[in-house]
Homo-oligomer: A and B are copies of this chain.
């Protein structure tokens, strides 16, 4: 499926340069009108700072657009690591579906060109990447609500609780061709950090002992392998697949979730866990950025509270949808008729959410570890210049991540997770000096 899609694409595909954009965009009504004026008035800047793609910002007299073009390889690594252009198809499809489910929480797509693996979207301005905002110490009052709403609606409404089985199977098939992107996650999140792998790196020499320990820690290997199996075989919902703080653009008034190119039908907890992991990492990186001790304590508390609020509102939002919009084939209403049935079903709904929370904690643990010992790191930690100081923060995160991964069930609530984060932030590893 993906193979034939790529073959079809390859004919007309060419990598666009900044200079190519005006003529291209002038030929499309939606982008021409959004930009306004004449193509000669349009400014084009390539800004892609992600790992995979080209991203152009184009501005005209009437407005701006963002143009994302997939490259046939992983940008972060180079042409030695090929990656199918078909991911642009899956991303565009995911954005369209998400727009239907949570209009206004994802960028609006103006144009999709399958041959060029290119998507033109509304320019999100003056939005910045959430991760940068959090590192800068900015608070976003709408954030928790918007993220929780995105998670609850996209996961519930694409699951068996909301869809008939035939439609859900068709959707699983629709995204099954995106396996190359899934494979990146399978390798980089669930495998490489736990073995010798060329692309792994970490803050040396301080984390050398922990990295070695994790490569020998068989309880950890079992736990991460169980999650990998779940990632491989649990087609619970259409998941974003990369829902970290770098995939969210924000202002004080607006939240947009971007970059769903890792989309496929997978376990819900992978999305909820990704966001939790990244907020915990931001919290634990805080002291590394302080010029005076305690300077970031209040912001850190806000970040943890945000993680708590997201978790609680995700739960209540998902449950509300289940009570009101359960049109799927799972848990048929007819088996839980009347007040007695509804009461019993509600107990089961809570049990379902508890299981999903265990998944969330486990996946979050895996996402933390991969960002410190694996290939792709977070600027939350990377921007701490002093390696020893950075390693102190990272060691705390690894300790928390391991606990979440191996003993996910012992965290009965989001409060116990954020409390564990507070506790580990008070721990000082030996090498702190």
* A positions within 8 Å CB-CB of B: 1, 159-160, 165-166, 168-170, 172-173, 176-177, 179-180, 182-183, 186, 191, 194-195, 218, 221-222, 224-225, 228-229, 232-236, 264, 329-332, 334-337, 340-341, 344-345, 348
Q: In the assembly, how many copies of this chain are there?
A: 2
Known: A194-B335, A218-B341, A229-B331. 5 other contacts (CB 8 A): A169-B182, A176-B176, A218-B340, A225-B331, A232-B330
Q: Which residues of B contact A191 (CB under 8 A)?
A: 332, 334-335
Q: Which of B228, B335, B340 contacts A329 (CB 8 A)?
A: B228
In the bound assembly, the distance between CA atoms of A194 and B337 in angstroms comes to 11
Q: Which of B1, B172, B221, B345 contacts A344 (CB 8 A)?
A: B221
- With A179-B166, A229-B330 known as contacts, the answer to whether A218 contacts B336 (CB < 8 A) is yes
- With A180-B166, A218-B344 known as contacts, the answer to whether A225 contacts B330 (CB < 8 A) is yes
- Closest residue of chain B to A160 (Cβ to Cβ) is B232
Q: Which of B166, B169, B228, B332 contacts A330 (CB 8 A)?
A: B228
Q: Which of B169, B195, B221, B233 contacts A176 (CB 8 A)?
A: B169
Most B C-beta atoms less than 10 A away, residue of A159, A165, A172, A177 = A165
- With A160-B233, A173-B173 known as contacts, the answer to whether A344 contacts B222 (CB < 8 A) is yes
- With A183-B165, A191-B335 known as contacts, the answer to whether A232 contacts B173 (CB < 8 A) is no
- Closest residue of chain B to A197 (Cβ to Cβ) is B334
- Closest residue of chain B to A344 (Cβ to Cβ) is B218
- Closest residue of chain B to A183 (Cβ to Cβ) is B165
- Closest residue of chain B to A232 (Cβ to Cβ) is B160
- Closest residue of chain B to A218 (Cβ to Cβ) is B344
- Shortest beta-carbon distance, A155 to chain B, in Å? 12
- Closest residue of chain B to A159 (Cβ to Cβ) is B233
In the bound assembly, the distance between CA atoms of A332 and B231 in angstroms comes to 14
In the bound assembly, the distance between CA atoms of A172 and B176 in angstroms comes to 8
Q: List 6 A-B contacts (CB under 8 A).
A: A165-B182, A169-B182, A170-B177, A225-B332, A232-B329, A233-B236
Q: Which residues of B contact A336 (CB under 8 A)?
A: 218, 221
Q: Which residues of B contact A182 (CB under 8 A)?
A: 165, 169
- Closest residue of chain B to A194 (Cβ to Cβ) is B335
- Closest residue of chain B to A334 (Cβ to Cβ) is B195
Cβ–Cβ contact B232 & A234, under 8 A = no
Q: Which residues of B contact A337 (CB under 8 A)?
A: 195
Cβ–Cβ contact B177 & A225, under 8 A = no
- With A165-B182, A172-B173, A183-B166 known as contacts, the answer to whether A221 contacts B1 (CB < 8 A) is no
The 7 closest A-B pairs by CB, nearest first: A173-B176, A173-B173, A218-B344, A166-B179, A221-B335, A169-B176, A160-B232
In the bound assembly, the distance between CA atoms of A337 and B215 in angstroms comes to 10
In the bound assembly, the distance between CA atoms of A331 and B226 in angstroms comes to 8
Cβ–Cβ contact A173 & B183, under 8 A = no
- Shortest beta-carbon distance, A366 to chain B, in Å? 13
- With A176-B173, A191-B335, A335-B191 known as contacts, the answer to whether A168 contacts B232 (CB < 8 A) is yes
- Shortest beta-carbon distance, A259 to chain B, in Å? 21
